[in-house]
Structure 1
Amino acid sequence: MEVYKMNSYQKEIVKIKHQGREIHGVSYMPDRKRKCPVVIFSHGFNGTNADFAMNSDYLAKKGVGAFCFDFCGGSINSKSDLKTDEMSIFTEKDDLSAVIETIKHWSNVDPDNIFLFGGSQGGLVSALVADEYLEDIKGLLLLFPALGIPDDWNKRFPTISSIPDTVELWGVRLGRKYFESIHNYDVFNHIGKFDKNVLIFHGDQDDIVALEYGKRAEMIYPNAELEVFSGEGHGFSEAGNKKVAEMTYEFIKKNI
């Protein structure tokens, strides 16, 4: 294992094996013996664990652990297994579940204070997983969650027979599996049971995921709050990301 000693925490490369594949992850754990709360970060479409390095560094310096990972097949730059055309929302859901099942047993993780944070497609995946891990997850944070992915693709491919074998999106090759698995899938029938606190960050200039999805999510959860960022799109500015990191820490403090 590669371990990097930072000023106030340890950064370590972690490999998690499940279902015949391996996940590449990076843990950011405060350099102390006691159990600490932890946030599991799930990146968006074609992202990597590095997308939340700043957030993780910020939290770890304040005594909150973080774990970032590459979804299998989740990016052309992924260090995890699978090709992008083997990935689907549901393979990513399995990956996140495997991460939860692994780190909740770590000696320096407080298993009663595990939080999920997902951005874009990773937000959709985190929302789906939270509904199945009601006992394990303490709180949920969603950054412009791409809850409209099935709606968007079902409009483009309204029937199973209209789905091609492969589609290239933003330089990423997706397989038939990705589209078949979300055919006629209604996200809002599979989220909303999570009854602990939920914090949603969404920009009012998002041209990839309409703000309406963030508003609808706020309504479906029993205890959700939507923070609308003025002038921000799908991918926040440095100032916006800094505010998200600060609000994440405040959310953790309030909920542990």
Structure 2
Amino acid sequence: MKKREVLVTHHGRTVYGFFYEPDAKEYPLIIMSHGYNGHKSDFEISAEYFAENGIGTVCYTFCGGSVRDESSFSTTEMTLYTEEEDLCAVLDEVLTWKQVQKDRIFLFGGSQGGFVSAMAAADRREHVKGLILLYPALCIPDNWNTRFEKEEDIPSKLEFWGMELGNKFFRTLRGLDIHTYIRQFKQPVLIMHGDQDEIVPIEYGKNAAEEYAQGKLEVFTGEIHGFTENGNRRMEAMALYFVHDVIGIGRK
């Protein structure tokens, strides 16, 4: 397994990421998207695990999606739509790599990155073989639209969980219907969600699994928002099995 830096420039900004390359001539690939104020290193252990098991993996930082982001894109300019643009740009980049099996690309996202991955999977469904969501924050529009009932209630800026958000983030949530995206994606989906999650109620995971055409929910007993080390090891094994099952490895 080899690790190298990946830079993807689009819309006047640059996404910084890492590529974990398996020791194989060709391979499936997973694009891993971090959660709110996360970083490209958040899923590094999992990315190495997948690469060591023959699956290429790209981890990256959303532009403006983290105080540790290396791009010059401001956190106050970030929205779920700019993050989707980042993910789609990464997808376009890996589609140019000769070793990647183009019909075996998976999106993987945690929390807010799960929401963004669900959007991108629908909009780029012709290129996405399957979708893996960890405690996906599908509650984001509900939460903020409830807090700011009227558009004039939205502040120009707001510091939230250590990161400053701009007016655009909240305005673009008005009318954003995740169910529209869910209904458009017909490929297999694996959702893993802790039953003690106080940030994103597990009902969001349950409802999404039922609404997806091929959705499956794995409940992680005792896990909160962001899995423990043991939970992550279980998640990795389930995700690997999911990928193998979808692409037909191990079937007789």
Q: TM-score, normalised by structure 1?
A: 0.95
Question: Is structure 2 residue 168 aligned with structure 1 residue 168?
Answer: no
Q: SS at 1:38's partner residue?
A: strand
Q: For residues 153-212 of structure 1, what are the alpha-carbon distances to aligned partners after superposition, in whole Å with 9 as ceiling and x for unaligned?
A: 001101111100001101110000000000132221232221111000000000000101
Matched with 2:194 is: 203
Pick the aligned partner of 2:139 from 148, 152, 157: 148
Which residue does the alignment assign to 1:60?
A: 51
Superposed counterparts of 1:117-156, under 5 Å: 117-156=108-147
3-state SS in 2 of match to 1:50: coil
Residues 154 and 184 in structure 1, CA contact (< 8 A), matched pair in contact too: no
- Alignment partner, residue 81 of structure 2: 90
Contact 1:23 1:81 in 2 (8 A): no
- The alignment partner of 2:83 has SS state of helix
What residue number does 2:208 align with? 217
Provide the TM-score with structure 2 as the length reference: 0.96
Cα displacement (A) at 1:220:
0.9
Q: Counterpart of 1:235?
A: 226
Contact 1:13 1:26 in 2 (8 A): yes
Cα distance in structure 1, aligned partners of 2:52 and 2:72: 30
Gapped regions of structure 1 (runs ≥ 5): 1-8
Task: Tell me the equivalent position of 2:172.
Answer: 181
Amino acid at match of 1:11: K
Q: What does the per-residue CA deviation read over 1:25-68, in whole Å, with 9 as the maximum and x for residues that have no partner?
A: 10001133x22000000000000011110111001111111000
Aligned length: 247
2:20 alignment partner AA: Y
Does the residue aligned with 2:196 lie in a helix, a strand or coil?
Answer: coil
Task: Report the Cα distance in structure 2 between the residues aligned to 1:158 and 1:114, rounded to whole angstroms.
Answer: 39
Aligned match for 2:96, one of 86, 89, 105: 105
| Structure 2 counterpart of 1:17, from 9, 33, 40 | 9
Aligned equivalents of 2:223 and 2:212: distance in 1?
24
Which stretches in structure 2 are left out of the alignment for 5+ residues? 248-252
User: Quick one: distance in 2 between partners of 1:80 and 1:192?
Assistant: 33
Distance 1:204 1:136 in 2: 32
Q: Deviations over 1:116-157 (max 9, x none)?
A: 000000000000111111110000000000001000000110
State the percentage of identical aligned residues: 46
